[in-house]
A and B are shown apart, each in its own frame.
Chain A
C-alpha cells in the first residue's frame, strides 16, 4: 500500500457504546503507534507496538482503552463505554525499525479517525 490507512475516517457514536478503530500500517513496517489529538491540541501518546515485543501501553488513559496488533500488520484500538471526553482524532503511525539504525527512522502517519461521542 501507498501509506498508512485508517478506518473509519469518521465515527459518531452514543455515550456508552463501544467503538473499534482500525489502522493498516505500511507493509513491512515493524513499529506502530497510536496517538490521540483533541481539537486544537497536541498529540497524546497512547500505545506503541514494536515487532514481537510487549507493547508500551503507558499512554492509555483508562482501562476502557485497549489495542491489539497481530504480528506486523493491522492494529485495532478499542474504546469501551465511550465518554464525551473521548471525542478526538485518533492517529496511527508506522515506521520501519530493523537493525541498528531503525530507531532513527521517521514515522508515517495515517489520516486519522475523527471520533465524536454524543
Chain B
C-alpha cells in the first residue's frame, strides 16, 4: 500500500532564510509525487510535481523539491523564505499504477515565516 509521511507538524523559519519541508513516501515502484499549498481560507493549490527525469523540480512561487529515490524522500525547499509563504503544505503520492491508482496526502506541515 502507498503511504506518505510529513514528520514535522510545524516548521518555523525567519524571513530570508532557506526553508525545507520534509516528505517521505512508500510505494511499490516509481512514484509520482506532488506538493500542494493551502493558504488560510483558500483552497489547495498545486505547487510542483515529480514524474521522472531530473531529481530537482521547480515549481510556483520559487519553490523547488528534490526527489531522492534511495531515501524515498521528496523534500520541499526554497532558498529565501517570505512571510507570505506562511501556509499549510501537503505532500502527495500516486503509485505507478497510473490513472487506476488514487492520490493520497500526507498530514500536512504548517510553515510559519517570521519577519
Give me the interface of A with B, judged by CB distance under 8 Å.
31, 33, 35, 41-43, 45, 48, 50-51, 53, 56, 58-59, 91, 93, 97, 102-104, 106-112
Contact = CB atoms under 8 A, between A and B. Distances in A.
Contacts of B104: 45
Nearest to B48: A106
B43 A111 contact: yes
Nearest to B109: A42
A108 B102 CA distance: 14
Interface stretch (B13-21, B64-72, B73-81, B93-101): B93-101
Contacts of B106: 42
A43 B99 contact: no
Given A43-B90, A43-B105, A59-B102, 12 more contacts: A41-B107, A42-B107, A43-B108, A45-B103, A45-B105, A53-B100, A103-B32, A103-B94, A108-B46, A109-B45, A111-B42, A112-B43
Interface residues of B, number: 24
B34 interface: yes
A102 B99 contact: yes
B102 A56 contact: yes
Nearest to B97: A103
B5 to A, nearest CB: 10
A58 B42 CA distance: 27
B99 A35 contact: no
Nearest to A48: B102
Contacts of B32: 103-104
A47 to B, nearest CB: 9
